[in-house]
Amino acid sequence: MAAFGTVFMPQMTLATFENSNWSSPELVSSDSIQLHPGAHVLHYASTCFEGLKAFRHENGSINLFRMDRNIERMQQSSQLLSLPAFDASFLQKMITDVVKHFHNDVPKPPGSMYIRPTHIGTEAAIGKAASPTSSSMLYVLLSPVGDYFASGDQTLRLLLEEDGSRCAAHMGMVKSGGNYASALQPILQARASVNADQVLFCPNGDVQETGAANFLLIDGNEIITKALDSSFLHGVTRDSILTIARDMGMTVSERELSVDELLERAAKPESEAALSGTAAVLAPVGTLIHKGKEIPVGDASPGKTTLKLRKALNDIQWGKAEDKHGWLTQI
């Protein structure tokens, strides 16, 4: 099986913004795009993207999960990066058109079609470090993906980083390539030094998120996670998991969580921790690494509540459970 996100469908939908207007979206080859070497995105990182999935149900229908929330977040990212604005219906049609075109290629469960809308600044102007791009390109890539946990549930090892941040605090809620770039070196260093899978960024002791996922602490019947602010990404999967947890009668506490409290609670036998994101949905965390010490989370195995919550969300996505919140869009 190819690595996640390395296989692409041969075509994508693409539209451009020039002279204050959006072009009509077209279905074009996905093997290349044309950019001037002076394009704004290449010098000043005017880029944002989204990640969502389409699922094939047993009746053969194709269903997009929470497309409205991803489009809304991409509109917000574009605004915060001063990229040209677009209507939600415009991107929605681009997504649904390309997924419909490759209807027969959407994998059966446990696979899915990963969808990557991308918005980049294209104006050739290397003197605009402090000015927005006047032109841009919006496109939607498709990548069929298999079971993220095909090799079995492996608990993750997280290094707690109290000195650095994932990205600039005011940029955290933007899904932009620059944020991932700023987290890359700390992650690589953590892998090399302590064999960590990811870094959990906790600037000044404030537990935030990892390089590519939101963090959830599960203590018995309570889920604790940082309250939404501009410093970290407002995950759609995070929101979905918290909603399902409330439906199950769990207590959801969105509040500040300190490293000290995290370590104290993690030591309890019933404690669990997990990372939420589009690719893995909910990945169990088994070990926290802090100041040279390894602290197991609970018994360090995949937690029962983590697996239960993940299954509940997967069942909605694959049409095996009622979609009570209207999260699916059938196309």
Q: What is the mean pLDDT of the chain?
A: 95
Sequence ranges of the chain with CATH classification 3.20.10.10: 156-317
Q: How far is CA 157 from the centre of its chain?
A: 19
Instruction: Output DSSP code: residue 155.
Output: -
Give the Cα separation of 114 and 279 in Å (integer). Answer: 8
Beta strands in 30-163 (DSSP E): 47-49, 52-56, 62-65, 112-121, 136-145, 156-161
pLDDT (tens digit, 9 = 90+) per residue, 12-60? Answer: 999 999 999 999 999 999 999 999 999 999 999 999 999 999 999 999 9
pLDDT (tens digit, 9 = 90+) per residue, 141-159? Answer: 999 998 876 666 789 999 9
DSSP structure string for 162-227: SS--SS-GGGTTS--HHHHHHHHHHHHHHHHHH--SEEEE-GGGB--BBSSSEEEEEETTEEEEPP
pLDDT (tens digit, 9 = 90+) per residue, 82-129? Answer: 999 999 999 999 999 999 999 999 999 999 999 999 999 999 999 999
Is the pTM of the predicted complex or chain greater than 0.85?
Answer: yes
Pick 11-145's CATH classification: 3.30.470.10, 3.30.390.30, 3.40.50.620, 3.40.630.30. 3.30.470.10
Q: How far is CA 55 from the centre of its chain?
A: 17
Residue 184 has, within 13 A of its CA and on its CB side, a CA count of: 6
Sequence ranges of the chain with CATH classification 3.30.470.10: 11-145
Phi, psi of 296 (to 5 degrees): -70, 145
Pick 156-317's CATH classification: 3.30.70.890, 3.40.50.720, 3.20.10.10, 3.40.640.10. 3.20.10.10
